[in-house]
Amino acid sequence: MTTKLLTALLLGTSILGTAGMAYADDVTLNIESWRGDDLAIWKDKLIPAFEAKNPGIKVVFAPSAPTEYDAALGAKLAAGSAGDLITCRPFDKSLELYKKGNLADLSSLPGTENFSPVAKAAWQTDDGKATFCVPMASVIHGFIYNKDAFDKLGIKVPETRDEFFAALDKIKADGTYIPMAMGTKDLWEAATMGYQNIGPNYWKGEDGRTALIKGEQKLTDKDWVAPYEELAKWKPYLGDGFEAQTYPDSQNLFTLGRAAIYPAGSWEIALFNTQAQFKMGAFPPPVEKAGDTCYISDHTDIGMGLNAASKNADAAKTFLSWVASPDFATIYANALPGFFSLNNTPVKMEDPLAQEFVSWRGKCKSTIRSTYQILGRGTPNLENETWVESANVINGTDTPEAAAKKLQDGLDSWYKPAK
């Protein structure tokens, strides 16, 4: 063999080897999610930002229908066909996947130090020793209002409960607007935008929530019954036929300008911005007296984990560390106003309504929904039963005391606090 031929063969082998290596390194990561509404944001903003900094790693966002996600994901995991990255619901749904060995332990993942213990709690084992999803966003509860209606009627934004009910009375007496848009047909609204919205001001946020888990407080205690007493007073302000009013009905009543106030979750912001033809503002749940400490439900809502069976674990961890970065937080929170970053690095919000919601973190104490951690595991399910009883109280078919007793009796039937 001539020297020239040998050189050519070696050169060819070298080129093929390098090309083969480059091809082998070109990894595609698939993301499982229930958030189909976010497809354009992932495709146009998030994925390009990541891929620009990480050549050789491609990412595909492949959502399922929200109502089908849990079952579809479970089937894919069982069949070994699930994506590399799993969008995580908070608390028990994801904890169950971790316990089954479907989600990898991410406790030592670079970037997880960017989150507080409260932010990580939704995706940790009960003892806090293992973290299995990177926190992505929370949603904040409060009230969105029609600024034009408030200006027309000369109403100032209420800070106390007395001011809140005085505003409702004024709106009702005028007759132009339904004072508040919320129905009870779908049940969950009454609990999520009602009880869990105003409740933290009564049970003092994390103090009350953790005391309930420890068995140091009960749902029949004054601070847990009082929010139902307030909810019962909402009935005259919800408009005719609210008992048959669905969640989309409530959204439409507000965005069409027919209702002045909307008990809200911040997830409504993007939709309301596209539909409402009037100026909007927001205020946190009013306190008893001016100057009282305020508490808000700043509920951990969405995270992302690693499929323990992924064949691309290293690339997936690179992606998850990026999800844990301030860069991701800034893009995500501004692309989805109303889904707020849980990252310790403050994110500057561009949307004025989102700015208003997130500003409450600076003056109020944050907590999460009282039924989500540990207390929603048994039967009867406290979360679902809270939906029913919140609607019953507003409808007037249960007294606040009766509702609280039913919930506590149900909890006592299966839950024994750890000693």
What digits encode the pLDDT tens for the residues 329-349?
A: 999 999 999 999 999 999 999
Residue 363 included in any domain: no
392 and 309 assigned to the same domain: no
Instruction: Indicate whether 95 pLDDT > 80.
Output: yes
Write out the H or E segment, with its range, that includes residue 200: helix 200-203
Residue 282 included in any domain: yes
377 and 287 assigned to the same domain: yes
Instruction: Indicate whether 23 pLDDT > 60.
Output: no
Q: What separation in angstroms does the CA of 61 have from each of 42, 84, 187, 320?
A: 7, 11, 32, 14
Residue 357 included in any domain: no
Mean pLDDT of the region 55-65: 96
185 and 131 assigned to the same domain: no
- The Cα–Cα gap between 376 and 383 comes to 6
Weakest-pLDDT range from 15-24, 82-91, 255-264, 302-311: 15-24
173 and 209 assigned to the same domain: yes
Amino acid 67: pLDDT: 84
Based on the number of CB atoms within 10 Å of its own CB, is 6 exposed (0-12), middle (13-18) or buried (19 or more)?
exposed
Amino acid 418: pLDDT: 81
Amino acid 250: pLDDT: 97
Closest listed residue to residue 301, CA positions, set 271, 341, 359, 357: 341
38 and 108 assigned to the same domain: yes
196 and 222 assigned to the same domain: yes
Report the chain's mean pLDDT, rounded to a whole number: 93
Residue 355 included in any domain: no
Closest listed residue to residue 300, CA positions, set 372, 379, 250, 196: 372
64 and 146 assigned to the same domain: no
What digits encode the pLDDT tens for the residues 214-252?
A: 999 999 999 999 999 999 999 999 999 999 999 999 999
254 and 198 assigned to the same domain: yes
Range of the domain at 43: 2-137+301-350
Q: What separation in angstroms does the CA of 403 have from each of 208, 216, 330, 368, 408?
A: 18, 20, 42, 21, 9
Mean pLDDT of the region 275-297: 98
Domains contained in the chain, number: 2
**pLDDT band at residue 14 using 50, 70 and 90 as cut-offs:** very low
Amino acid 235: pLDDT: 98
Amino acid 8: pLDDT: 39
Mean pLDDT of the region 354-360: 97
pTM metric for this prediction: 0.88
- The Cα–Cα gap between 261 and 243 comes to 18
Amino acid 11: pLDDT: 38
37 and 165 assigned to the same domain: no
What is the domain-level CATH number for residue 9?
3.40.190.10
Q: What separation in angstroms does the CA of 2 have from each of 5, 7, 12, 16, 360?
A: 5, 9, 15, 21, 78
Backbone phi and psi for residue 327, each to the nearest 5 degrees, phi listed first = -60, -50
**pLDDT band at residue 25 using 50, 70 and 90 as cut-offs:** low
313 and 242 assigned to the same domain: no
- The Cα–Cα gap between 379 and 63 comes to 30
287 and 323 assigned to the same domain: no
Residue 91 included in any domain: yes
20 and 85 assigned to the same domain: yes
Residue 392 included in any domain: yes
Instruction: Indicate whether 419 pLDDT > 80.
Output: no
- The Cα–Cα gap between 267 and 279 comes to 17
Mean pLDDT of the region 292-311: 97
Instruction: Indicate whether 21 pLDDT > 90.
Output: no
| Helix boundaries (H) for 80-195 | 92-99, 117-120, 147-153, 161-174, 188-189
Amino acid 12: pLDDT: 38
3-state secondary structure 3-66: HHHHHHHHHHHHHHHHHHHHHHHCEEEEEEECCHHHHHHHHHHHHHHHHHHCCCEEEEEEECCC
- The region, left, alpha or beta by phi > 0 then psi within -120 to 50, assigned to residue 291 is left
